[in-house]
Amino acid sequence: MAKRKAKACGGGRFKQRTLAQSSSSGGVAAGETRESSEERGGAGDAPEEVENRSGGEENVAGCSGAPPPRLSGVRSDSEPDPDSSSEWIPSESSRESSPDPWEPTEELRSKVPNTSRGRAPARGSSARRRPSLEVDAGVWGHGGSEPTKFPFVATPGPQNAAADLDSDQPVDFMELFLTDELLGHIASQTNLYARQFIQAHLPHSRERVWKPVNVPELKKYLGLSFLTGYIKKPSLSMYWSEDPMEAIAYFNNTMPRKRFKLIGKFLHFNDNASQDAGDKLYKVRPVLDFIISKFKELYQPHENICIDEGMLQWRGRLNFRVYNPQKPVKNGIKSYIVCDSQTGYCYNMLPYVGQPSPLPDIVFSLLDRLTEQGYTVFMDNFYNSVQLCEQLFKRKTNVCGTLRKNRGEPQIIREPSNTDLGEEGKVVQTNGRGLVLACQDERLVRRITTCHNDGMQRVEVWQKGQRDKVAQLKPGCVVEYNSCMNGVDKLDQNIAYYPFIRKTQNWTKKFVAYLFQICVYNAYVLFRSRNPGINKTHLEFMKDIARSWTEKGYVSHEEGEEMEVEDVLQIRSHRNTDPDDRLDGLMSRHKLEHLRATTKKAHPSRKCRVCARRGGRSETRMWCKACRIPLHAGECFTAYHTQKKYY
């Protein structure tokens, strides 16, 4: 009796699913369970879904999965899954109004013999597997023509100003991205914010010593910031320390510590007075748009490109911060990035700000003008679907990548049996434009490609328990995917070596520093492309930029001119300390000069440091240019540069 009841329940459930599928194209019964996390692999796998999904295949490019129940105990700031979250993918149409484009119509079904409508379920598995209504002889099949790869017609490499630049100086390539126009905008917005801050606070605020910053001084600030990327110290103040054990004279000689901190405090990128509440990236919008336009203008990627996510770590409060436990950086600001697979050059990026957007729109926005040129795009299963590949095929763009379950694939690919996989451990379906396959490696992985056949390649791989590599046969699309799906990883790896992002409570400064890090690496790619004979590492390239921007000494608020003596002494008087290099013994470097005339005094004078420390009040019109300390000529000058306790 129990056996009869189980059979009846299985048959009723099978009939109910068939009716549901007949009434809704591509629909799935509500009782069907979603694929496990092991089935979703790929280089950029999204975490398990944390919210229900409402919407049809139109929004998730051929997805026909049913919404799972909401999980309890999951953090509210978790990154949503595009297959399940209504916050990630908008729900604008029902499944009835937006059927799967790969789903055969009822008219086509009636013309297909019963034997070609898909595989019959195995014995005893009717309660566990759905009938394969999606597979159709006129759409998918084992035979037919193989996918055709579009030829690559673009000319890769540096373009426009980068192609015309004939230089072997790293700073010239860096200034292709961080131009004087961009730095001038940042300087003007920094000065504007400083005035707004001072007016809003007490009149006796210590920030009133602020002097306007200009482009040359901003370059000094950025050059010192680059140095902090590979000269590591626990705190920012330690770079100006006078302790002989940890002193770095270069920072003191380039810019006073208080000036550096003041610039960092007021660093700003857009006017708060005209803020657009609808743009969550308003505070960094001018810098972001300018830099991305330069990325696309100065370089043409090679044939193989990849799309993946990049993460900037941020643990503070931010309404579009994401949480992904499967990523090395679990909390932060996520950006969709398209990179050249060969060089890692960042061609385009799109920060995720929590607003829903269909995945095909994201992909086409990232590709921008790269379509219609025969590029091969490698994507993981977060983006891929049959419908998206069909759209890219129409734009003469090749696609290869992993595929999630219920993204428009045939039933035999969705749930292959051991019989389907056969001796080679794979099952292949093609429709002439695209090819989908399921192959058994350490786990079952689904692939989709519009530019490969189902041929196998012999590769050497490492296996657990083996001392040497073992030869294995893998599908050609799998081998090329593993080789080319690493462009974003190259970018992340190189900018992680020497990060000059400092701890801050302002996400805008950290995000712009992240953009500048990408600029440094992109400039390095252009430098190597234009100077193939120069073997310079990324670190040496970065050091040369910092040296070029800081070697001329301290400049201030007048257009490129040195700071007036009165202003320099005003800043140094807050410390009232002696420079560490006054006893370096290089007397040719320490020279006395007359104090320059200021706007207030034609013949300025200051207290001699030696006389003042000895209790006198004698003033002088001379100072040491290297130490920037007022001194009398003769005994005071000699004692100051030869005696540790000159007083």
For residue 402 the two structure tokens come to 């992993």
Could you tell me the pLDDT band of residue 530, with boundaries at 50, 70 and 90? very high
Of the candidates 546, 416, 429, the one whose C-alpha atom is nearest the C-alpha of residue 147 is 429
> Distance (Å, rounded) from C-alpha 537 to C-alpha 377?
29
Higher-confidence residue of 73 and 578: namely 578
Cα of 133 vs its chain's centroid, Å? 41
> Distance (Å, rounded) from C-alpha 507 to C-alpha 454?
47
> Distance (Å, rounded) from C-alpha 435 to C-alpha 262?
59
Angle 38-39-43 (CA atoms, 0-180°, nearest 5)? 80
- Characterize the bridge pairing of strands 304-313 and 376-379: parallel
How many CB atoms within 10 Å of residue 403? 28
What percentage of the chain reaches a pLDDT higher than 90? 42
- Secondary structure string (H, E, C) spanning 532-587: CCCCCCHHHHHHHHHHHHHCCCCECCCCCCECCHHHHHHHHCCCCCCCHHHHCCCC
Query: What's the helix, strand, coil split of the chain in %, to 5?
Result: 35, 15, 50
**Does position 552 have pLDDT exceeding 70, yes or no?**
no
Quickly list H helices, 134-214: 161-164, 170-174, 180-200
134: helix, strand or coil: coil
**Does position 124 have pLDDT exceeding 60, yes or no?**
no
Cα of 623 vs its chain's centroid, Å? 49
Of the candidates 473, 542, 579, 639, the one whose C-alpha atom is nearest the C-alpha of residue 230 is 542
Cite the beta strand spans of 341-408 per DSSP E: 346-351, 376-379, 398-402
Instruction: Share the mean pLDDT of the chain.
Output: 77
The helix (H) or strand (E) run that includes residue 473 is strand 470-475
pLDDT, residue 598, reads 73
**Does position 19 have pLDDT exceeding 60, yes or no?**
no
Higher-confidence residue of 525 and 113: namely 525
Could you tell me the pLDDT band of residue 50, with boundaries at 50, 70 and 90? very low
For residue 437 the two structure tokens come to 């396959």
Higher-confidence residue of 401 and 136: namely 401
**Does position 629 have pLDDT exceeding 60, yes or no?**
yes
Quickly list H helices, 207-248: 215-227
pLDDT (average), residues 461-481: 86
For the ranges 155-159, 321-325, 567-571, 639-643, the lowest mean pLDDT is seen at 567-571
Could you tell me the pLDDT band of residue 170, with boundaries at 50, 70 and 90? very high
Strand partners, 304: 376
Could you tell me the pLDDT band of residue 202, with boundaries at 50, 70 and 90? low
pLDDT, residue 576, reads 63
Of the candidates 354, 353, 356, 372, the one whose C-alpha atom is nearest the C-alpha of residue 364 is 372
> Distance (Å, rounded) from C-alpha 171 to C-alpha 543?
10
Strand partners, 473: 458
